[in-house]
Structure 1
């Protein structure tokens, strides 16, 4: 790619000198659009469900399908970019993503929408790691923390802005515009990349060397990993609906998932050019960072879906206002990204990551205070805590995860870290959905146990309600039915609140588990700079 030093001067291996900060902005625009689509449809799921006449569970596939296909593509993207040219691959991905986005907006039923979302996810998965490689080439090590701060704004703030923008478009136009909006932005980003980013001579030489050596893509390894991730997502998404292992479908999907993983491990260990360098997972430093990224991806995506959902379902907010509850947290995240970019050159990443995980765990625990009397400000403040914690993880994990790796391992490491974030997000949404459904049923069963005529509290409540409705003109029989109906509604509402509280308890535990993982990371040389990350 076009490479320049920190002041804009050309460095060796450059096709054409371009100011690195301009490159960072161009890359951030394209990645912002791609990451935005992980959450822009979240608050529009009710509109999508109604528009396509599908259930809310089916509508949630619009989110998880994108995340899984995105994670699968991330695994293959680094090799394809090196083998066939970074710029060429990046432009193809950007163009495909833009076209698929428009087609999502024009989708006529659920299958067509999911197909276009998969294409969109595959294309988007190729953009992120290549973007990181561009930044790594463009900036010297001592400037990469600041460069990745700009990149981090796109990665972390985009999922937060997504619900606000998606809510506004859904309320004032239609859910289709959540996808159609990518059309003009994609064309603009394509033009910027085409004219400003150039292939470096180093990248060209490496591509020619790969051709001379006849290095081919590990199609078998890729197919096995794709099968594993796809089957895992099917199990998580459909488990609750299909009654888990009482379902033949879930049993078969689980078997396929396990078999694919069992075959993939020896294949990746023995094949000459594996799609995943499995030796990276044997490194304590890198594996710990991957697990932390899985957890944080789960928190980021799950909360971005379920906070707007509870605001719409239980508090009667519009999609726009549900999204706006997340926006202040996005502004805090944007500010913190640049601050943390400076802190990474002063403090060890392990401590920053641990502090960030602690703040996020507190934010999730704070959400367990959910009750019907909460106002808009509570959700804004809770999201501010999350906005403080996320940057303390996303930026430092860049330096921590790439410390000690060889130069030829950074591209694969970048793909794996990104795949971990998206896979974690997909798993987070699925786990939270299952916890919500199961615990809502459980709480409702427990609450119904107290709704019996022999219970004095129930008897007094039903009598008071009947009198209330009679005083407002209802007959005795209608008043009795209305009273029973009102109590039933109250039980469902209370069960819903309690189930959401359980979801946030689970997310708090997941966040807390990241703290000890962060503390076992090795100390790094702060002067060496970081490699590519999320």
Structure 2
């Protein structure tokens, strides 16, 4: 990557400690606020989609393009963050992105139709794409290595609590006021974040003196093509019956060819948009793979559990958001524990423990039935929040522990892209499994719905006797069959959710060997690079 080679040309010693003039904790709060705003807004949007569809007279399927357009522009800009930071300065670029995000939020709130809303979300995604990698890079650069664990604990607290608060807040805003307020709420938060970043954040010398390079146009175009095609496939594949749709097959083909061409281009370009060679670093490459798998579990669980509560248990959007909110309690406990013990224990112990705890929480969710109450969901979801916090903090710290400071900006862009893609892939896989597995179980259960089955015959007779006073025998028989078919669909749906949660638990355990590949990090022995 250009900045790695440019620093020596500018006469900078990358091993010389750099200390920001402002208190690092003020910097941490400033950058975390912008990230909190972006992550929370993404989770709020899921709740409001039915209301957006209703107010704009469009189908729910059309309304999902609101999220797809945001995610595509977000992912494209996210990976180009390192180049923009070198060219414009990281602080200036972060301020610009906060401004664009707030402007996009205002435009989305005022959008009169779906076309303008999608355009506004594209603008918002452009601004939001750089917030997380820029915040992480600034945070990691501002703290000495021995304190990065505590700094990341503070940062992760905001990142993990945002999706917990988002659905509940979004449900309340949408029910009490309008879906447009889920965008308006970003304006005051963004204004405060802008002022704090302007007051406390500064660029380190290797950013201020980095040699400016031309934008890697070829890499940027190839990146935009494969990321956009992949995101569309992941979002729309299930609705279009995957390979059953010709246009999905074309999209997959373009995404694969575009990705391979992008890798070759970036590895041979003189000044690549993204320095993929950083993945050869054992800690960073392994940590990125673990993060991708962990994101699949986190995002899938966040999607599946409210869906289970609403479709099978009859919860409202607000009630389901409230039911999963205890995850924040587990997250806070995990953050506090990790912040206190980071540097005192081997980080790999934290990660293995958290992966096992995450698998256990998924197993507990895979044991639910249609008779559970809200409290039965609370325990597993608290464990889930605790495990995710305990995993993300040491994982993010270990990922960059053996990289130079001037490589962190590029690394955080890749790290966050893989996390987002992991989440999108996880949601796509689990929603597809949910639909297909539900059909399989429904066919299995219906095959037993025959008069030759004593249990079925007993259920029919029992319901007919209970409903006999309600009308003629023919009408009662139709009611009985409808009730039993509804019960079959519920049971099939339940087993589909159970298998999904168990699959996620297995995925966590598969990641454990990757942790053992990581080199141990001796925090007190590392200088502030």
Contact 1:167 1:318 in 2 (8 A): no
Partner of 2:511: 514
Aligned equivalent of 1:227: 225
Kindly tell me: are residues 528 and 177 of structure 1, through their superposed partners in 2, closer, same or farther at Cα, counting changes over 3 Å? Answer: farther
Task: Say whether 1:132 aligns with 2:132.
Answer: no
How much does 1:34 deviate? Answer: 1.0
Please state whether the residue corresponding to 1:524 is helix, strand or coil: coil
The residue aligned with 2:7 is none
The alpha-carbon deviation at position 229 of structure 1 amounts to 2.1
Does 2:184 align with 1:180? Answer: yes
Residues 145-177 of structure 1: CA deviation (Å, up to 9, x unaligned): 222221111112212221221222233333332
Is the CA contact (8 Å cut-off) linking 1:35 and 1:158 kept in structure 2? yes
1:276-291 equivalent positions in 2, closer than 5 A: 276-291=274-289
On the 8 A contact 2:354/2:388 being kept in 1, the answer is yes
| 1: CA distance, partners of 2:148 / 2:322 | 32
Unaligned runs of 5+ in 1: 1-10
Please provide the CA RMSD for this pair.
2.4
Aligned counterparts of 2:371 and 2:453: Cα–Cα separation in 1 = 27
* Partner Cα distance (2:528, 2:447) in 1: 57
Whole-angstrom CA distance in 2 between matches of 1:487 and 1:261:
49
SS at match of 2:450: coil
Q: Which runs of 5+ in 2 are unaligned?
A: 1-15
When the two structures are superposed, what TM-score results if normalisation uses the length of structure 2? 0.91
- 1:377–1:99 CA distance, 2 compared to 1 (3 A): same
Count residues with an aligned counterpart: 514
- Is the alpha carbon distance of 1:55 and 1:234 closer, same or farther for their aligned partners in structure 2, counting shifts above 3 Å? same
* Residue number in structure 1 paired with 2:12: none
Q: Partner residue of 2:478?
A: 481
- Report the equivalent of 1:414: 412
Match of 1:17 among 12, 15, 21: 21
TM (norm. structure 1) is 0.90
Cα pair distance change 1:300/1:60, threshold 3 Å: farther
Contact 1:101 1:117 in 2 (8 A): yes
Instruction: For residue 39 of structure 1, give the secondary structure of its aligned residue in structure 2.
Output: helix
> Which residue of 1 is the match for residue 347 of structure 2?
349
2:196 corresponds to 1:192? yes
- Of 28, 31, 44, 1:27 maps to 31
Within a 5 Å distance, the mapping from 1:146-157 to structure 2 comes to 146-157=150-161
1:168 aligns with 2:164: no
Q: For residues 353-502 of structure 1, what are the structure 2 equivalents within 5 Å?
A: 353-471=351-469, 473-502=470-499
SS in 2 for 1:92: helix
Q: 8 Å contact 2:68–2:232 — kept in the other structure?
A: no
CA distance in 1, matches of 2:280, 2:202: 35
- Partner SS, residue 270 of structure 2: coil
Where does 1:26-425 land on structure 2 (aligned, <5 Å)? 26-54=30-58, 56=60, 59-63=63-67, 65-200=69-204, 203-206=207-210, 210-211=211-212, 215-425=213-423
- Distance (whole Å) between structure 2 residues aligned to residue 46 and residue 189 of structure 1: 30
- Say if 1:439 and 1:57 are closer, same or farther in 2 by CA, change over 3 A: farther
SS at match of 1:191: helix
After superposition, the C-alpha distances for 1:312-340 in whole angstroms (9 at most, x for unaligned) are: 22112222221122222212212321321
